[in-house]
Amino acid sequence: MSPTTNQIKAGSIVSGPTLPEPVEVLAVVPMGDSLKIIGRGRNTGMTHDPVLSPQQIAQLQSTHVPLAKTD
């Protein structure tokens, strides 16, 4: 599923041609029509913080991972 800017949220896993590996989204910062995604690589643990255009966002695949509940 290609996400929209409203569907990319903290806790999502995104991947696509503009990212070097699947990225767990930690924060999202709107920047006009673009979106800055701050996240952690699922394979390397490296931080990624690309600014993506609407065209790049449309190429992403997104999976929402529910946050673990704590009692």
> Do the domain assignments include residue 2?
no
Question: If you search the block for the tokens 């503009």, which residue do you land on?
Answer: 18
> Do the domain assignments include residue 35?
yes
Q: Flag whether the pTM goes above 0.85.
A: no
Rounded CA gap, 54 and 9, in Å?
16
Pairing outcome for strands 51-52 and 47-48 = unpaired
> Do the domain assignments include residue 1?
no
pLDDT at 68 (0 to 100): 54
| Average pLDDT per 10 consecutive residues for the chain, totaling 71 residues | 70 94 96 95 96 94 68 57
pLDDT at 1 (0 to 100): 46
> Do the domain assignments include residue 70?
no
Which residues contact residue 28 at a Cβ distance below 8 angstroms, ignoring those fewer than 6 apart? 8, 9, 10, 35, 36, 37, 38
> Do the domain assignments include residue 7?
no
Full domain range(s) for residue 49: 12-62
DSSP label at 2?
Answer: P
> Do the domain assignments include residue 51?
yes
pLDDT at 2 (0 to 100): 53
Total of domains in the chain: 1
> Do the domain assignments include residue 69?
no
pLDDT at 15 (0 to 100): 95
